[in-house]
Amino acid sequence: MTAEITRPKGELVFRTLAMPADTNFNGDIFGGWLVSQMDLGASTLAQQCSQSRVVTVAINNLNFIRPVQVGNVVCVYADLIKIGKTSMTINLETWTHSDHFLNHEKVAQGTFIFVAINEQGKPQLVVR
């Protein structure tokens, strides 16, 4: 039987390095830090899609699959799965690279929903 080759789904929207300042008391990377990297990455795709300001309105089905270690390269992949009237739904996968890019694994995933907003912070149509 051939081993299944798993790859990230979506486009690379953010890449950064996990640093000692981002750890929790266990010495692993703090989950809140990871979520903010995902949010930042997805927001760039939502801004590009709507060509406007955006805010995160919901984060659904967020799963932390494996701990992230200091020194891991953290990559966020985004897949825009739905454009509503004012909202955009984006599936995210976060993968880490370690050992000088010899190893990689999926560490988190979730669905982020953004709303395009106007200067007053009110929802505005996403023009397609």
Ligand X SMILES: CC(C)(COP(=O)(O)OP(=O)(O)OC[C@H]1O[C@@H](n2cnc3c(N)ncnc32)[C@H](O)[C@@H]1OP(=O)(O)O)[C@@H](O)C(=O)NCCC(=O)NCCS
Residues that bind ligand X (CB under 6 A): 55-58, 84-87, 113, 115, 117, 121, 123
Nearer to ligand X, 12 or 58 (CB): 58
Q: Name the minimum Å distance from CB 100 to ligand X.
A: 35
Choose among 35, 33, 43, 41: nearest CA to 15: 41
For ligand X, the closer of residues 40 and 65 by Cβ is 40
Whole-number minimum distance, CB 103 to ligand X, in Å?
A: 33
Amino acid letter, 32: G
For 12, 54, 55, 92, the CA distances from 40, given in Å and listed in that order, are 12, 11, 11, 11
CB atoms within 10 A of CB 101: 8
Residue number, 31 or 67, with CB nearest to ligand X:
31
36-68 as b/e: b if 16+ CB within 10 A: ebbbebbbebbeebbebbbebeeeeeeebeeeb
In the complex, minimum distance from the CB of residue 18 to ligand X, in angstroms, rounded to a whole number: 23
Specify the residue, 27 or 84, whose C-beta has the smaller distance to ligand X.
84
Q: Least Å distance between CB 101 and ligand X?
A: 32
